[in-house]
Copies of this chain bind each other. A is one copy, B any other.
Amino acid sequence: MLTLYDSLVSGNAYKVRLLLTQLGIPFERVEVDLRSGETRTPAFRALAPLGRVPVVVLDDGTVLAESNAIMCYFAEGTPLLPSDRLERAQVLQWLFWEQYSHEPYVAVARAWVAYFGVPAGKEAELEERRERGRQALKTMERHLERCSFFAGERYTVADIALYAYTHVAGEGGFDLSELAALQRWLNRVREQPGHVTIEAR
């Protein structure tokens, strides 16, 4: 059976857990302790050279890393990853945007504030990351004022990727209360069949 090296603290890991559940794909979950630095141990690096969770080990032993790449692998051939070339590229556009322009700000601020503590001397950097995070959330709001979902006008892995850290952004000090379109979209994502929360294991 598929093994998911997982963390209940990580939104990136939650993306894969949510997708596999919605697709009805069984998996064995191995919790990796991020607080004790388990991803930096030689044993974990031997398994996963890129040194992060989530990582999946397929039935044949193949190891695949990077949450958004893992999602594309499992969503291939399902409605969650369009087969149309342009719609597929639009999904990928938002997946890359999430990792470059959203996660380093919204997720890192949450990780520092709610889980790991703000690193020494990084107080100013936290404020910078919060400002960039607010910009990312506004970019989402502007898109969602015109569209119900991020790509192809339906629920795809792009929505899962952006939901993962957006719905817990409050833990990092972000205020979503004035982002009405974004809040409606969060509810649309929660209403999808088979949805599970970030705490579900």
Copies in the complex: 2
Interface size class of A (residues with CB under 8 A): 35 or more
B interface footprint on A169-194 (CB within 8 Å = 1, 0 otherwise): 00000000000000000000000000
Which applies to chain A's interface (DSSP): helix, strand, loop or mixed?
A: helix
Residues of B within 8 A of A85 (CB): 73, 76
Q: Which of A23-75 contact B (CB under 8 A)?
A: 49-50, 58, 62, 64-70, 72-73
Task: Give the shortest distance, in Å, between A133 (CB) and chain B (any CB).
Answer: 15
Q: Which of B65, B89, B104, B121 contacts A69 (CB 8 A)?
A: B89
CB-based contact B73/A96 at 8 Å: no
A95 CB–B CB distance under 8 Å? yes
CB-based contact A49/B89 at 8 Å: no
CB-based contact B49/A64 at 8 Å: no
Q: Which of B89, B103, B121, B142 contacts A72 (CB 8 A)?
A: B89
